[in-house]
């Protein structure tokens, strides 16, 4: 793989950079760059802007609304969006259920759902994990019993991200028992506004309402909302998770956060000199930057393989592990850099728009909240312990 950008790729970068600078709303980018919470409308507004340009789903086939970009162009696009402070495109519709529908859905499902995903007319969420079925997802107990032309769904999902905003949820449900547990699972699309669906908030340690538990009580779902074949949901779920884990690496966002870390370290003082000149702290930054450079190269190799038609395999687990470890390390070093200014961010006391005027510099205000929030990244998308098992089995042959 040639790691030098061609003149054409440099020109593409300028095209993307110019578009993002001209069209990204300033209030949204300021929230991102200052670690403030985004509202639902912020995500939707940016996705609609990208949709109007035809850039909201770079990974989709062109016939379904994709861009036709190669792996390097997708990398450049992600890089420039992250650098400018653009919010990530919500993965649940574009990067998760969309590719599953394209690969395994019926023509009717493609015609109905794909345009709505592109236009942000439906907000999607994920229904995978359950109490007692997280890392061992195949142990799920939510059932869907077929009655005529409907399934009747009963059960509970947990750690459901942003489900309080969702119009639709893609769910793994058990449609058969008495067989190998993976073979009795189906992939079902459920309207969140259906009678019998209840969303209950789970407040996280940073004080935010980001995840939920979702209850299904005799929820009627048309059989036409079954994706692919009944009992084949486990295969579709693995296909989806490989795409999710690749995206979790978040190289562009980590590069942006690394630049912020260096800025913070240049502002904070130790013994009258900038912290970034302190040898031990500078060494920590250097080690982290080397890890991030290696992750970026690995990410581009995986993306290149996808561009050749190969779905991401166990290498996606490598990206997930290292990407999330780097994200956590960035939050930890920022906290270390600001020292006593790294007080817990309490939104109930200061509100979402608190700027840190009470304690220390503006950039210090949200750092504790971000640190708490990022404890989750090594868990979601399949915990890093599970990813190491996948690597051991499929790459090392253990």
CB 131 within 8 A of CB 160: no
Catalytic residues: 244
Task: Tell me the C-alpha distance between 31 and 29, whole Å.
Answer: 5
> Can you tell me the distance from the alpha carbon of 366 to that of 343, in angstroms, rounded to the nearest whole number?
9
Instruction: Dig out the tokens for 377 from the structure.
Output: 């990244």
Q: How far apart are CA 250 and CA 364, in angstroms?
A: 22
Measure the CA angle with vertex 267, ends 263 and 271; round to 5°.
Answer: 135
User: What beta strand segments (E) does the chain contain?
Assistant: 124-127, 143-147, 150-161, 168-174, 185-191, 197-203, 209-222, 226-227, 269-270, 273-274
HEC readout, 279-342: HHHHHHHHHHHHHHHHHHHHHHHHHHHHHCCCCCCCHHHHHHHHHHHHHHHHHHHHHHHHHHHC
CB of 114 within 8 A of CB of 98? yes
């Amino acid at each position: 793989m040639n790691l030098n950008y061609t003149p054409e790729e440099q020109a593409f970068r300028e095209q993307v950079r110019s578009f993002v600078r001209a069209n990204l709303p300033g209030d949204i980018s300021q929230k991102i760059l200052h670690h403030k919470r985004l509202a639902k409308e912020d995500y939707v507004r940016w996705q609609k802007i990208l949709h109007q340009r035809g850039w909201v789903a770079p990974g989709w086939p062109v016939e379904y609304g994709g861009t036709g970009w190669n792996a390097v162009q997708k990398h450049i696009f992600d890089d420039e969006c992250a650098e400018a402070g653009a919010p990530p495109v919500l993965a649940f519709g574009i990067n998760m259920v969309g590719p599953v529908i394209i690969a395994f859905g019926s023509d009717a499902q493609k015609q109905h759902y794909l345009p709505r995903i592109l236009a942000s007319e439906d907000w999607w969420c994920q229904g995978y994990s359950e109490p007692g079925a997280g890392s061992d997802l195949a142990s799920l107990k939510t059932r869907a019993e077929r009655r005529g032309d409907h399934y009747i769904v009963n059960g509970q999902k947990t750690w459901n991200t942003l489900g309080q905003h969702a119009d639709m949820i893609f769910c793994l449900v058990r449609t058969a028992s008495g067989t190998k547990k993976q073979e009795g699972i189906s992939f079902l699309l459920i309207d969140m506004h259906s009678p019998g669906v209840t969303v209950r908030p789970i407040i996280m340690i940073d004080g935010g309402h980001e995840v939920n538990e979702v209850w299904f009580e005799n929820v009627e779902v048309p059989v036409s909302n079954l994706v692919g074949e009944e009992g084949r949901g486990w295969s579709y779920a693995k296909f989806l998770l490989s795409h999710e884990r690749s995206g979790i690496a978040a190289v562009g966002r980590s590069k942006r956060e690394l630049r912020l870390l260096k800025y913070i370290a240049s502002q904070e003082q130790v013994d009258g000199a900038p912290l970034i000149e302190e040898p031990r702290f500078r060494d920590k930054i250097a080690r982290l930057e080397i890890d991030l450079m290696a992750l970026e190269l690995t990410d581009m190799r995986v993306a290149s393989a996808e561009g050749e038609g190969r779905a991401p395999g166990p290498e996606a687990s490598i990206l997930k592990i290292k990407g999330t470890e780097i994200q956590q390390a960035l939050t930890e070093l920022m906290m270390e850099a600001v020292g006593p200014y790294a007080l817990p961010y309490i939104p109930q006391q200061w509100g979402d728009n608190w700027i840190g005027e009470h304690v220390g510099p503006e950039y210090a205000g949200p750092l504790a909240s971000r640190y708490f929030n990022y404890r989750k990244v090594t868990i979601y998308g399949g915990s890093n312990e599970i990813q190491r098992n996948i690597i051991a089995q499929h790459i090392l042959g253990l």
